[in-house]
């Protein structure tokens, strides 16, 4: 008899959760995957189209904050593993409207963990971010975030993610909830919502529109291809030590200006499109991950560098103009409604 595991993946209609669903459903045909997503503006069922009819995949349209619905789902499905990607994820939106970030990112995490406690699971995994460590100075390239770097947040988004991390650790210590936390650096790759830097720049450059660079463009981000984030989470969930935090990153630090110029060069577009705009409030200066722990303890190695990952990402965007245009036109929301009617 085949040993089958059942996974709950939350936020699977979003960028990273969607890539993770694709990866897991295709890599583990003998395991079962249930995706729950509230389909906010960032959720897109078209992202799940390639796997939506696979026999080992099921989509449930639900909010992780809906306690009754979440508990019912746990009772029915009896999950072995729960992986929580669902979140409000855009820093700029958290500056405009913090409340929904606290609701989904903190209270949603609490609801899921309460269900895990009640119905029992093998492992709860919280997908967190390097932003919980705050930022590093631009003039100290020798400094990196380790798992022991103190939590020190800047935006309502990062404060909500850090709060969730602390809650996960509290549930582990107080209730013995089996759990792990991963903190990853900036992702890029297929199905990236075009409000974030890389897909936004590709979209605007293709349309010969001005490219908005916050402040001077000197802020540094550490870019990891989403595929490598997926393999890291898979490894942590299966082999990571209970109660541990794992940093994920591949030492691909670039200034925002370097990222934008690379994209312009690949697309054959002029640098004159670059437009400096008002800086983001509280803008973190530099993120840089030390991934030594996951590499030495679990043997994880990224497949892509920024140089090898950015080309295919631009190509994906060029080849999936429909997916992007449906977001810009709002067509993807209509697709969702029709999908449900069907
Ligand atoms: P995203 O905004 O693209 O997707 C989030 C998904 O969660 C969407 O499908 C949305 O509909 C869903 N969602 C939102 N609120 C929900 C709710 N209340 N109930 C159910 N579903 C809900 O985000 P992303 O970039 O894919 O990020 C996924 C996770 O990874 C987040 O937890 C984020 O903090 C973390 N993370 C992101 C990055 C990055 O570079 N994007 C890096 C490190 C960590
Ligand atoms: O580090 C991980 C985090 O990366 C995740 O936790 C977040 O969910 C994810 O959104 C991302 O946050 P950032 O704020 O780093 O990503 P964003 O793409 O919004 O911005 C990247 C950098 O580019 C940042 O320094 C701000 C800048 N920027 C962004 C936009 C959208 C611009 O200069 N112009 C822009 O128009």
* pLDDT score of 341 more than 70: no
**How much of the chain exceeds pLDDT 90, in percent?**
95
Q: How high is the pLDDT of residue 93?
A: 97
Q: What is the mean pLDDT of residues 132-150?
A: 98
Contacts (Cβ under 8 Å, ≥6 apart) of 295: 301
Share of the chain above pLDDT 70, in %: 97
Q: Which of 114, 120, 121, 119 is nearest to 170 (CA)?
A: 114
Residue nearest to atom 41 of ligand 1 (CA): 187
pLDDT at 2 over 70: no
Ligand 2 near 285 CB (within 6 A) = no
Q: How far apart are CA 302 and CA 304, in angstroms?
A: 6
Residues 143, 137 contacting (CB under 8 angstroms): yes
pLDDT tier at 272, thresholds 50, 70, 90: very high
Tokens encoding 233 = 């989470």
Ligand approaching nearest to the C-alpha of 95: 2
- β 211-214/57-61 pair status: unpaired
Task: Say if residue 95's pLDDT is above 90.
Answer: yes
* Residue to substitute in 17, 158, 196 for testing ligand 2 pocket (most ligand atoms within 8 angstroms of CB): 196
Does 338 have pLDDT greater than 80?
Answer: no
- CA 114 to ligand 2 center in whole angstroms: 31
Q: Which atom of ligand 2 is nearest to the CA of 214?
A: 33
Q: Which of 17, 41, 110, 165 to mutate to test the pocket of ligand 1 (most atoms within 8 A of CB)?
A: 17
SS3 of 298, please?
helix
Please report the pLDDT score of residue 8 as a whole number.
99
Interatomic CA distance for residues 287 and 132, integer angstroms:
10
The ligand 2 atom nearest the CA atom of 129: 6
- How far is the centre of ligand 1, averaged over its atoms, from the C-alpha of 140 (Å)? 30
Is residue 332 very low, low, confident or very high in pLDDT (cuts 50, 70, 90)?
A: confident
Does residue 89 line the site of ligand 2, with CB under 6 A?
A: yes
Dist CA 312 CA 192 (whole Å) = 13
CB of 164 closer than 6 angstroms to any ligand 1 atom = no
Probe residue for ligand 2, chosen from 42, 93, 186 as the CB with the greatest number of ligand atoms within 8 Å: 186
Residue 333: per-residue pLDDT: 79
Confidence grade of residue 339 (pLDDT, cut at 50, 70, 90): low
Nearest-angstrom CA–CA distance, 102 and 88: 9
Rounded distance between C-alpha atoms, residue 323 and residue 194, angstroms = 10
């Amino acid at each position: 008899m085949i040993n089958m595991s059942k996974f709950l993946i939350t936020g699977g209609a979003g960028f990273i959760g969607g890539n993770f669903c694709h990866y897991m459903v295709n890599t583990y045909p003998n395991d079962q995957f249930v995706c729950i997503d509230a389909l906010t503006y960032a959720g897109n069922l078209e992202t799940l189209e390639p796997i939506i009819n696979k026999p080992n995949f099921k989509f449930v349209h639900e909010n992780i904050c809906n306690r009754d619905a979440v508990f019912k789902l746990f009772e029915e499905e009896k999950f072995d593993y729960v992986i929580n990607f669902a979140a409000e994820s855009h820093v700029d939106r958290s500056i405009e409207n913090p409340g929904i970030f606290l609701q989904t990112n903190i209270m949603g995490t609490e609801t899921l963990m309460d269900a895990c406690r009640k119905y029992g699971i093998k492992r709860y995994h919280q997908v967190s971010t390097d932003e919980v460590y705050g930022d590093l100075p631009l003039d100290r390239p020798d400094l990196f975030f380790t798992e022991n770097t103190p939590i020190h947040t800047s935006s309502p988004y990062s404060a909500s993610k850090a709060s969730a991390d602390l809650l996960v650790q509290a549930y582990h210590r107080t209730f013995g909830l089996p759990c792990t936390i991963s903190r990853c650096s900036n992702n890029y790759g297929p199905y990236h919502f075009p409000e974030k830097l890389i897909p936004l720049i590709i979209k605007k450059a293709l349309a010969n529109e001005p490219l908005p660079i916050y402040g001077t463009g000197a802020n540094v981000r550490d870019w990891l291809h989403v595929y490598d984030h997926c393999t890291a989470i898979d490894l942590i969930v299966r082999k990571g030590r209970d109660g541990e935090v794992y940093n994920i990153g591949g030492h691909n630090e670039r200034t925002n200006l370097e990222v934008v110029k690379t994209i312009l060069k690949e697309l054959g577009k002029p640098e004159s499109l670059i437009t400096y705009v008002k800086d983001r409030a509280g803008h973190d200066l530099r993120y840089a991950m030390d991934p030594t722990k996951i590499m030495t303890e679990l043997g994880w190695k990224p497949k892509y560098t920024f140089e090898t990952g950015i080309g295919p990402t631009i190509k994906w965007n060029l080849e999936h103009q429909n997916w992007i245009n449906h977001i810009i036109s709002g067509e993807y929301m209509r697709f969702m409604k029709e999908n449900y009617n069907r």
